[in-house]
Each structure stands twice: as C-alpha cells, then as structure tokens.
Structure 1
Amino acid sequence: MTDFWQITWLIPPGLLLGALVASACVSALLSLLVIKGGPIDNPRERGAHSDPTPTSGGLAIMAASALTIGLIICFQGHDIPGSWRDGLILFGFASLMGICGAIDDVADLPASWRLAFQISLCLVFAWFYRVTTLDFGPGLIVQVPPLLGLLGSAAWLILTLNTINFMDGSNGLAIGAQTIALLVFAGLILLMAPLSLFGAYLGVVLLICICVAGAHIGFAPFNLPPGRPQKAKAFQGDAGSMFAGALIGGATLVVKAYGVGSVWFGGFLLAPLLVDVVLTLIVRTRKKENILKPHKEHLYQIWLQRRDGSHWRLALRVWGLCLLSSLIGVGARLVDRIYHTDIRFLLLVALIAAYSIGWLQLRTALLKRPLLNKAP
C-alpha cells in the first residue's frame, strides 16, 4: 500500500504545468485570428444562436496543440519518455478528423460522405490498437477475435466522434466536457503508468492530453464568454468536435493497449453525453426519422427550449455529471489496482442505467412544459 502512493512522475510536473499554460496562451491568441478571419456559421433552424458567429475555432485548438507539443519535444524531448510512434498515430488520427471537420464547416459535406470518411479512418486506427480482451469482472476476461476486435474498436471511435459532435450545440457544454475528459485522462496516466509494466510508453500520450486540454482552456472564454455566455464569440465547429472526439476515443484504445486503463474508461469519461446521444437516436429511430438529419431533440436542447435558456447553467450541470462519472471511473481503476477487484464494467453498467433512467424521467417532464418565449 505504501509503495502505491509513492509518486513517480512520468514527466516533470513543472514541464506539464508549463505545457498546459503555454498551450492555453497560444490557443487564446490563435482564437483571435479565427474570430477576425475564419469561416462564419450563420443562424440555422437547428442551431442555438441567432447571430452569425465565427466557427472552426477547433483549428485554433489543433494548431496551438501541435505548436506547443512540437516546441516541447524540440527543447525538452529528453524528458518525455514513451513511444513517439504512438503519439504520431494518435495526434495524426485526431488531426485528420479535425481537418475533415474543418472542411465540413466550410463546404457542408453530405452526411454520408462524412460517415464514410470516419469509418475508413477509424478502421485504420483500430488496426493498430484494436481491443483483444474485454474485462467483465474479477477473473472474467474474454478473448476477442481479431475481426470482432477491429470492428468493435472502430465502432467505439465512430460513436465517440459523433457523440461529441452531436452534443456541441450549446455554448461551453462540449468544450468543458472535452477538457474534463482530457485532464482526467492525464490524471489516470500520471497515477497508473508508473505502476504498469509498459506504462512508460505513454509519456507522449500524456503530453498530448495536457497540451490539448490547455488549448481547450484557452479557447473556452471565446465559446462561453464571461458575462455574456449566450453570445459566443466563436464556435469550435466540426473541426474541434471531431478532433477532440478522435483524440478521446483513440486515447482510450491506446491506454488500454498498454494496460494502464480499460476500454470501459472512455465510457466513464463521456457517460452523460453517450446516454443523451444513444437514447435520442433510439427515440428518433422508433419514430422512423432520419438519424443523419440535424435536429433539436437531444435532452440538452429540449432543456434550453423548455426549462432554462441559460447556456452557462446548462454547461455547469453537464460538466458536473461528466466530472462525477469520470472520477467514478478513476476510483474503479484504483480499486482494481489496490484490491485486485475489477468492478469497472459492473459500475459502468450501473452508472449508465442511472443516467438513462434520469434521462427518461427528465425528458418526459420537460416535454410537458411549454416552450420558453425565447427558446434557443
């Protein structure tokens, strides 16, 4: 027990803090450029804004992350353990998804084209980090056939991408959830990597999580302006949501591959968002509606329309739920490491069930309420 709490830093703490701050500052500066000269998202029936707003803030996040990571590697690379290959594959995968999103921000690509690109790229990434085993409890480890592992891993990536993309419809909501997920991921690696046989390989992945989290922090005030949260100065756009979705989903598979976390950890990070997206898709499918068509039927959108139009208060609620589920996931990993009792899958099932029941009850109650006079 004493050995467990002896901290061994994978990367010097000063360097991690410096990377976080530097990435936030660079992102804030680049966000100003997006506001001045980036593409504009005009108000649409399915949107939650009434004024033309610069989009593709995700490009500022991507550029700030890449610049900060590159500079740190150039000048402090000797302090970063791990496999450069893993970092390149993960960040490259996320960046390609982000670039696809940026193109969609400008050209509004057909949904079928976007999905085809996502499937192709997710299959390539899953080939490197496909799941080979699933842990369902103490002593219950199931070997996954290669083809099923490949398809399942790709399906997880596609689900993560679209979950964050679909939930990026209220100022600050997705940006905050992404930041929490990345910081908790970094915390998990800091805690568990020094105790795992191959954990030292995750140094570059840790640096990526910290730098991208910092870039999100730098952009957040533009997406959820203090004092005027209803009037975003910029959106992250599909560029940002697809970049973050690919990074979080991909990091889940990389961390699993090195034995630091399980495939279930991504479910803990995004539990509230996954529940809203999956249950909304089920409702729309049962109503025989086109699930690829944009809409305003997610629970968070109904909340804005019928309960409270404040983006700030909505964001705080969702952030709180994301932080709660993420910390439960970290706690389950610690229980597994200290007491050799793997409750992660069972706990995730219980958490998803609780969120699903809450979703159904709240949605039923909200739909009985009239629309607000100025519903988003």
Structure 2
Amino acid sequence: MHWLIPLLVFLGSLQLTGLMHRYALRRGLMDIPNARSSHLVPTPRGGGLAFVSSLMLAVLGSYLMGGWASLGGRELALALWGGGLLIALLGFWDDHGHIPARWRLAGHLLVAGGALVLLGVPGSLGLPEWLAYPLFLIGIVWLLNLFNFMDGIDGIAGSEALSVTGGAMLLIGWLGMDSVLSDWLGVAAAATAGFLLWNWPPAKIFMGDVGSGFLGYLLAIFALQSANIGLLPIWSWLILLGVFIVDATLTLARRFLAGEAWYSAHRSHAYQILSRRWRSHRRATLGVLVINLVWLLPLAALAAARPALGVVLTLLAYLPLILLGLKIGAGRPESNG
C-alpha cells in the first residue's frame, strides 16, 4: 500500500472531526456533565463519525481501485465495510437519541455473528467449532461494548486503539511478515490519530457511541482475521488489549457481585478513579499508554514468537493489572462518588 493512503486518511479524519465539532455545536449534540461524568464542561460528542467515515471511504476506494484483493479478500472487506457500518449506524442513532439496550445488543450479536460466518474462527486454538463460535461471538460483542465503557475520559479510547494497532504492526514487522492486513492496521491507526488530535486532553470533542463501538468491532475483526491467517495469534491481541479488558471486566464483575445495576452509568473504572485522584485526564491516559508500551507490548511479542505459551503469557500480563485494579478500587461502590 502506498504511504499516501494513510496520510490522506489521517488528513481526512482530522478535517472531518473539525466539521463534526461545528455540526455538534450547531445541533446541540452535547455531552452535559452530571454526577456520573468525568468531565466538567459541556463537550460536543459524535466526533467518532469522522474516523469511521475516513476509514470506510478508504475501504471503498481500495475496492474500486484494486478489487477485493487489496482489502485482504472479499470476506474481510464485507466484515469491515458491512459490519463496521452497521455498528457505526447503531452508535450514531444512540448518540442522537436512545436505543433500548436489548435492541442494541441484538444488533451487536447480529453483526458479530455475520463476521464469524464470513471469517470463521482460528483453528490454531484447537477448540471444537461448537465451542469456538459462541466464545468468539461473546468476545466480539464484549470488545465493542467495553470500548464504550472505557471511553470515559479525554483521549483514552483513541489512544488505546492507536496503541493496539501500532503495536500489532510492530509485531508483524518484527516477525518479518508481510500482509495486506498490516497495511489496513496502518490506515486504521491514521484515521484514529486524526481524531485523537481533537480528543487529546483537554478534549474539544468526544467520539460518542458511533466511534467507540466501531473501534471495538474493528479491532475484533483485525484480531480474528490475523489469527485465522497465522499472522498474529489471538493471545497477542488479548495481551495488547489487556488494560481495557481487565479494567472493564473487573469493574463490572465487582459491581454485579455487589448487587449494583452494573449496566448503569458510573465512575468506578480504575482509569476514572485515577483521573479524579490525579485531577488529570492526561496523566491517566498517559499511564495507560506507558503500561501498553512497557509491560504489554513485550509480552505480546513473546506470545507472537511462542504461541504455545499464549495462555501463560496472557495470565502473566493480566495478573498485575488485576491487582492494580483491586488496589485502586475498581468497581467498589464507594468509588463512584
């Protein structure tokens, strides 16, 4: 892929985010602070539509110029374009009004199921299909929802997506492998970076559900396809996404066990607690990036080089994160205030 494509996607995302900022102000599409918010001033939302549009246009342009092969195959293109577009539309609808949770979940299950029909599941895990398909269905739906849960302070979701896509590209290059999928990781990183310049603390605009759900789905599709073609094992992806997976899962599990309405708005994720303690969204977001770079990326590299040790390395990666989350107080009722 020519370097000009990621550059154009970056510039397109940057400019479209500016347009979305003006659109949100004009339409009153604002995120108003309340007792459960981590921000203090009304802020435009829905900016994720900018990087969604930039990436979708790049996918469409690639197809028109080079056919399915330039996208890594017909099935991957359909999963990226069709599934990604539906997830973004659900999020856009939710940003402008409200979708009942059951209908939103039904849409997520439908899209995740379609992606699995198109792409299949990795045979390298040695799981029977009757078990692998439900596990990956739950995994895709959980990943696209946890990005929504974790998009609670300035810059964190965009930084995570940029860190994971960039980390995956580094690992593929380190392994000496070449793939169309690696090119599209670069395009996704460029689209996210264009938005992140607007969303970096202090954020001028939030991505909203249209962006957060799309990012989670996009990374799930990249992880699934890379494992299917033997590019990166699923363990490397689980490790790269460790901060988001552990914080979201630990927090909601503790809220559920405490008898709270775990699905309702709250401020008890570990990253939210740290941003309040430090009185800085920037410090909390940078802290996540440091963990990703110093702790998770090397372990993901080991998992890529030694897939047979994937389970052990994933547990090793997660254990300190779980202990850190417990120490911070993630999911504790008293941490909501």
- For 2:30 and 2:92, the matched residues in 1 are separated by 12
The match for 2:36 is: 46
- Report the counterpart of residue 216 of structure 1 in structure 2: 192
Change (3 A) 1:116 1:334: closer
What's the counterpart of residue 12 of structure 2?
26
Kept after mapping to 1: 8 A contact 2:267/2:335: no
Distance in 2, matches of 1:96 and 1:186, equals: 26
Q: 2:245 aligns with which of 261, 267, 274?
A: 274
Structure 1 counterpart of 2:183 = 207
Aligned to 1:374: none
C-alpha deviation, 1:169, in angstroms: 0.4
Is 1:286 matched up with 2:264? no
User: Structure 1 residue 66: deviation in Å?
Assistant: 2.1
1:147 maps to what in 2?
Answer: 130
Rate the CA distance shift 1:68–1:333 in 2: closer, same or farther, 3 A: same
Pairing 1:201-350 to 2, within 5 Å after superposition? 202-203=179-180, 205-224=181-200, 229-230=201-202, 232-305=203-276, 307-336=277-306, 342-350=308-316
**Distance (whole Å) between structure 2 residues aligned to residue 280 and residue 172 of structure 1:** 20
C-alpha distance in 1 between matches for 2:100 and 2:333: 31
Q: Note the C-alpha offset of 1:241.
A: 0.6
**Counterparts in 2 of 1:355 and 1:36: CA distance versus 1, 3 Å:** same
Indicate if the aligned counterparts of 2:171 and 2:301 stay in contact, CA closer than 8 A: no
Tell me by how many angstroms 1:186 deviates. 2.8
Q: CA deviation at 1:159?
A: 1.6
Question: CA 1:88–1:367 in structure 2 vs 1: closer, same or farther (change >3 Å)?
Answer: closer
The answer to whether the 8 Å contact 2:268/2:333 transfers is: no
Distance 2:124 2:251 in 1: 27
- Post-superposition shift, 1:319? 1.3
Which of 307, 312, 319 is matched with 1:353 structurally? Answer: 319
8 Å CA contact 1:94, 1:243 repeated in 2: yes
Q: Distance in 2 between matches of 1:326 and 1:133?
A: 25
CA distance in 2, matches of 1:334, 1:252: 12
**Native 8 Å contact 1:252 1:263 kept in 2:** yes
Contact 2:10 2:193 in 1 (8 A): yes
Post-superposition offset of 1:83? 1.6
Question: Aligned partner of 2:235: which letter?
Answer: W
Unaligned runs of 5+ in 2: none
| Paired residues of 1:189 and 1:260 also in contact (CA < 8 A) | yes
Does the 8 Å CA contact 1:24/1:217 hold for their aligned counterparts? yes
Letter in 1 for 2:100: P
CA contact (8 A) 2:144 2:212 kept: yes
Aligned-partner Cα distance in 1 for 2:114–2:198: 34
Say which structure is richer in helix: 2
Partner residue in 2 for 1:56? 46
- Give CA deviations for 1:113-166 in whole Å, capped at 9, x if unaligned: 21222122212212333435454xxxxxxx322221110111110121122111
Could you tell me how far apart the structure 2 residues matched to 1:289 and 1:30 are? 39
Deviation at 1:75, TM superposition (A): 4.9
Offset, 1:334: 4.9
**Aligned-partner SS, 1:48:** coil
Aligned-pair CA distance for 1:369: 9.6
| 68-77 or 104-113, which deviates more | 68-77
**3-state DSSP class of the match of 1:356?**
helix
Bigger drift between 121-130 and 23-32 goes to 121-130
RMSD after superposition:
2.7
Q: Do the aligned partners of residues 131 and 279 (structure 1) sit closer, same or farther apart at CA in structure 2, a change above 3 Å counting? A: same
* Contact kept in structure 2, 1:223 and 1:234, CA below 8 Å: yes
Residue identity matched to 2:119:
Y
Q: Residues 134 and 263 of structure 1 are in contact (CA less than 8 Å); yes or no, is this contact kept in structure 2?
A: no
Distance 1:333 1:18 in 2: 32
Identical-pair percentage: 26
For 2:292 and 2:85, locate their aligned partners in 1 and report how far apart those are by CA, in whole Å. Answer: 24
- Mapped contact 2:235–2:310 kept (Cα < 8 A): yes
- Residue 268 of structure 1, CA deviation: 0.9
TM norm structure 1 = 0.80
Q: Distance in 1 between matches of 2:68 and 2:112?
A: 31
Q: Aligned residue pairs: how many?
A: 332
Q: Which residue of 2 aligns with 1:167?
A: 150
- The AA in structure 2 aligned to 1:131 is V
Cα distance in structure 2, aligned partners of 1:193 and 1:57: 36
Residues 84, 329 of structure 1: alpha-carbon distance in 2 compared, 3 angstrom cutoff: farther
Report the secondary structure of 1:259's partner residue.
coil
Cα distance in 2 for partners of 1:163, 1:45 equals: 21
Tell me what 2:163 maps to.
Answer: 180
TM-score (norm 2): 0.89
Structure 1 residues 294 and 134, CA gap change in structure 2 (3 angstroms): farther
Write out per-residue CA displacement over residues 298-326 of structure 1, whole angstroms, 9 at most, x where no aligned residue. 11112223x11111111100111123354
Question: 1:86: how far off?
Answer: 1.5
